[in-house]
Amino acid sequence: MCARFYVVSPADAIERLLDVPLPEDPEPRWNIAPIQFAWAGIATAKGPEWRQLRWGLIPRWAKDDSMAARTINARSETAAERPAFRDALRRRRAVVPVTGFYEWRDEPTGTGSLFDEIEASDETVRQPFAFSSPELPVMGLAGLWETWAGAGEPLGTFTILTTEANSFMRGWHDRMPCILRPEDIETWLDPTNQSLERLWPLLAPAPDNALVARRVSRKINRVQYQGADVFD
């Protein structure tokens, strides 16, 4: 599952994922939610490029955009079978740059930092955590994209592929986003590569040491909140 992410990495770090400059300098965004726009790297006839796409994939055949909130994620194991995703998996793959993503778990009230002793309590709160790479300033998540013209103006949309959680992530959720290794991004985006056998290995769970977790402020629970102090 990946329902919220943040992008606060410098532009040059994001650009290195595709070796292509961004059309404009991105502003730091601490709380990107479904149905919002974000940068995604895609392949075009002229080569890879960055585009602003809306999170929540709408297939070309959809009559309206009501399904977008349910297609922010696609299970990698079944994407080839799902009508909403199967064509995009073969022809329209994307890489979504993120500094990190958020996940929640229930914790007793009164819990402080990751290393504080948990106070005994029958009440729990939904506590958010930020997950990032200890080595990479920006991660490339495997995604799919489509252009939907049902509203008149073409609308580019995307979804993030997920896989089984590794041992580390299972402390929070049984799913995690598919994190592409930098050396695999070119293969992932290659539109001539329609071999599912070549794509599956790229969607494996990340190694257990690929991520670190940090407890963040519950201010992030509000979609509208964009302050950097969520990490204070």
User: Cα(84)–Cα(18) distance, rounded to whole angstroms?
Assistant: 26
CA of 194: how far to CAs of 26, 186, 191, in Å?
Answer: 32, 13, 7
Spatial separation of the C-alpha atoms in residues 95 and 139, rounded to whole Å: 9
Catalytic residue among 27, 77, 103, 164: 103
Active site residue 178: no
**Pairwise CA distance, residues 37 & 29, whole Å:** 11
Instruction: Give buried/exposed letters for 137-157 (b at 16+ CB in 10 A, else e).
Output: ebbbbbbbbbebeeeeeebbb
**Cβ neighbours of 188 (radius 10 Å):** 23
C-alpha neighbours within 13 Å on the C-beta side of residue 60: 8
Q: With contact defined as beta carbons under 8 Å apart, do 26 and 13 qualify?
A: no
Catalytic site residue from 2, 15, 146, 178: 2
Question: What would the two tokens of residue 165 be?
Answer: 């959680």
Residue 89 DSSP SS3: helix
* Residues carrying an active site annotation: 2, 103
